A = this chain, B = another copy of it.
């Protein structure tokens, strides 16, 4: 008996008594084929369980209908804290791609340089790339923009960027947070976050801006301090916050953390030191991850809509692939006020 080989288009053509091109056209709903023929071919194809060979198809069409999504798991893994926000964003992107019938190739930059990631497109494995986070490699991304590789980035949006970025309006987010804390009558402010990340830095700037505007209005009794961290992680935030409450300087009564994860860490550290939230300290986080709603106390947070974000990233990437140059976009942020502030 002959070895069972997957059916090819040629096989179906033979079985349906038509030619290869006709099968191709029938399957692709081309108007160049009679309704009758199409139905017949489709029948034969389904009866024999034919599935098209996507590799052959991709080779012929130069389009892969596949998008590479680059997501840095590794940094998360090491801390054993995965900011769920990025995963939700991935879900958003996944859904948007699904709607457009695009496959999603998930890549980890840990295993390949941005440089080599770029070749994912030239190698036709994917038509374009979505970077979920700059991952501190902005220079690489800028370099990548020089080469004709279609890609978009979730991250900080700045006018000078040579590539298309989508991100929440971090400045506005920080601004909102500060306004809210000011409304609570707080006066000793602390920002927590790794300002090496452009996004985080913008949050801080918005925060500072709102405070300094107020400086003029109110008799300036505002204290602003910073706590820079090397990473997003819960652990780092917790340690830093614990140090801080032990320290000599006056303990802040209003904290804006650049992520909900960090906010939770800080609250936990403060509580351990006998301070209570929100009585002694108001805390505002960022991202409004699912857990925030259920934290104790429920966390006030700046929300970014991952659904919209995902759809937007995909939409813009599609434009880029078609050779057009999509504009960067900042997404409105919204302050979700809960008990922590």
How would you classify the secondary structure of chain A's contact residues: helix, strand, loop or mixed?
helix
From known contacts A73-B94, A82-B84, infer whether A122 and B51 are also in contact, taking CB-CB under 8 Å: yes
Q: B residues within 8 A CB of A54? A: 123-125
User: Are B81's CB and A98's CB within 8 A?
Assistant: no
User: Are B264's CB and A294's CB within 8 A?
Assistant: yes
Shortest Cβ distance from residue A321 to the other chain B in the assembled complex, whole angstroms: 15
A55 at the interface (CB under 8 A from B): yes
Q: B residues within 8 A CB of A110? A: 95, 98
Q: Which of A35-43, A56-64, A184-192, A244-252 contacts B (4 or more CB under 8 A)?
A: A56-64
Cα-based distance from A83 to B243 in the complex (angstroms):
31
Q: B residues within 8 A CB of A76? A: 91
- What does the 1/0 interface line of A208-248 toward B look like (CB < 8 Å)? 00000000000000000000000000100010000000000
Of the residues B6, B80, B90, B104, contact of A122 by C-beta under 8 Å: B6
User: Are A234's CB and B294's CB within 8 A?
Assistant: yes
Of the residues B55, B99, B307, contact of A55 by C-beta under 8 Å: B55
Cα-based distance from A227 to B64 in the complex (angstroms):
48
From known contacts A56-B59, A94-B106, A103-B105, infer whether A81 and B290 are also in contact, taking CB-CB under 8 Å: yes
- Count residues of A near B (Cβ-Cβ below 8 Å): 55
Cα-based distance from A99 to B112 in the complex (angstroms):
11
Q: B residues within 8 A CB of A107? A: 103-104
Interface residues of A in 70-114 (CB under 8 A from B): 73-74, 76-77, 80-82, 84, 87-88, 90-91, 94-95, 98-99, 103-108, 110-111
From known contacts A106-B106, A108-B95, A125-B103, infer whether A55 and B51 are also in contact, taking CB-CB under 8 Å: no
Cα-based distance from A55 to B66 in the complex (angstroms):
12
Name the residue on B nearest A80 (C-beta): B290
Shortest Cβ distance from residue A291 to the other chain B in the assembled complex, whole angstroms: 5
User: Are A77's CB and B95's CB within 8 A?
Assistant: yes
Q: B residues within 8 A CB of A82? A: 84, 87-88, 91, 290
User: Are B294's CB and A52's CB within 8 A?
Assistant: no
Shortest Cβ distance from residue A271 to the other chain B in the assembled complex, whole angstroms: 7
Name the residue on B nearest A4 (C-beta): B148
Cα-based distance from A55 to B123 in the complex (angstroms):
8
Q: B residues within 8 A CB of A58? A: 55
Cα-based distance from A64 to B122 in the complex (angstroms):
17
A53 at the interface (CB under 8 A from B): yes
User: Are B108's CB and A98's CB within 8 A?
Assistant: yes
From known contacts A51-B119, A106-B105, A119-B51, infer whether A268 and B296 are also in contact, taking CB-CB under 8 Å: yes
The 10 closest A-B pairs by CB, nearest first: A98-B111, A73-B91, A55-B58, A55-B59, A87-B87, A51-B119, A296-B296, A81-B290, A104-B106, A51-B123
Q: A76-B91, A94-B108 are in contact. List 19 more A-B contacts (CB 8 A).
A: A53-B59, A54-B124, A55-B59, A55-B64, A69-B106, A73-B90, A73-B91, A73-B94, A74-B95, A77-B91, A81-B290, A82-B91, A84-B87, A99-B111, A106-B106, A234-B293, A291-B291, A295-B295, A296-B296
Question: Can you give 6 A-B contacts (C-beta < 8 A)?
Answer: A53-B123, A53-B124, A54-B123, A98-B108, A106-B106, A264-B294
